[in-house]
Amino acid sequence: MRTKNAGIALAATAMLTALAVTPAGAATTALPGPSITGVLAVQKQAMTYGAPGALTRIDSGASSYRIASGKADTGAGVPMDANRRFRVGSVSKSFTTVVLMQLVAEGRVDLDAPANDYLPRALPDDRITVRHLLSHRSGLWDYTNEMFYHTVPGFEAVRNKVFSFQELIDLSTAHQPTSVPGAAYNYSNTNFVVLGELIEHLTGVPMATHYEQRIFQPLGLKNTSYVHPRTTISGSYARGYVRDDDPTLLLVDSTEQTVSWAQSAGAVISNPADLNRFFAAVVSGELVPQPQLREMMSVVPVNADGTQSYGLGLRGRVLSCGVKVYGHTGTVQGYYTYAFTTADGKRSMTSMANTSNNGTVNTVLAGTLEAAFCGVDPVKSGKALRSGGEAATEDIAPGVLRH
């Protein structure tokens, strides 16, 4: 195997490294080659705006590119590397969707049946279907809007709590719905908490077992786990740091938590190699039969210019070079994640910055998609996204504008 050092740069406070691994004679894909300098530029920009560190892994055919910047642990001064585990946040929704769609393929769930057909306690509106939950069109209010309205105090109040699915659902249904079922896309963590309740009630099997038996073991995802409600991450991992709503205060180490406030909506732990393997397997039909896969990948635009879309537990993005990628974003306290793959699964990319409640870092990190799939340096070319100033929403408390 031929190993090529793709670039090493030293900054005043961080070391930036990039490693590309390509077997001799390996074929390349038809896409432009990834821009390693572009990934490094985005990671450096993310660190400028407050991320302690960042990592990216690109798997393209038989080639693998691993790029890391900054620190995985600021207290111990441990450098970031692209093999580390972390909390993937809402990327977990795609794992939950795979479990649900396998149940659909087995004839145990009907996407267009009322969700109440499968739940131990009925939702307030019997018109909400399973499909509405998967596509964020149920109208169920997101309980995290209230739970994390004040970011750090909200987090500290729940970081060691253990919730039942029903307790979280009740927090949502205490509020009026955001829309009539099916009328509009409104991202809500409540949808995937309901799906977790649905899956466990229908099958009598815990989500952890479903993930392990249906996804982790078949794909050999040795760095992926669902340990709820345990609070620790095993092996080599990156610590997470959440920013206070007052940005003049120090970052808060948010690594240890139950993530019980999210569960099937956001409590999976993984690393870049496993996430790339997972999404490539999803779009390639290794996990979900073709009829159900077509449903997942039938994405509908959710922003004004049509560059961002959502299917069933799967995001779609159209990049500047016209390439369409599928995957999911993730936000959990201390971690931002982008994990996407091409429609054929031949090129996959995962990027993570170990901070959160910093919308600028979140949006800047999306530039690694341009570098990975379009082969451009988005910072130099001007294709980088918003670099600060305006408010934005996130996967946590999506009804609350953040800076």
**353 C-beta neighbours (distance < 10 Å), count:** 35
Q: Is the peptide bond before 229 cis (omega within 30 degrees of 0)?
A: yes
How many whole angstroms separate alpha carbon 55 and alpha carbon 40? 9
Q: Which of 90, 94, 172, 309 is catalytic?
A: 90
Q: Locate 91 and state its tokens.
A: 């990327």
Residue type, 312: L
Terminal-to-terminal C-alpha distance of the chain:
45
Read off the tokens for 223: 């760095």
Instruction: Quote the DSSP letter at residue 263.
Output: G
Largest CA distance in the chain: 60
Does the active-site annotation cover 90? yes
Q: Is the dihedral of CA 187, 189, 190, 195 positive or negative?
A: positive
Beta bridge partners of 273: none
d(CA 90, CA 130): 18
Q: What are phi and psi of 195, to 5 degrees?
A: -65, -35
DSSP single-letter state for residue 90: G
d(CA 368, CA 192): 27
Integer CA distances (angstroms), 242 to 1, 261, 334, in order: 39, 16, 4
Backbone angles phi, psi at 22, to 5 degrees: -135, 115
Q: Which residues have a catalytic role annotated?
A: 90
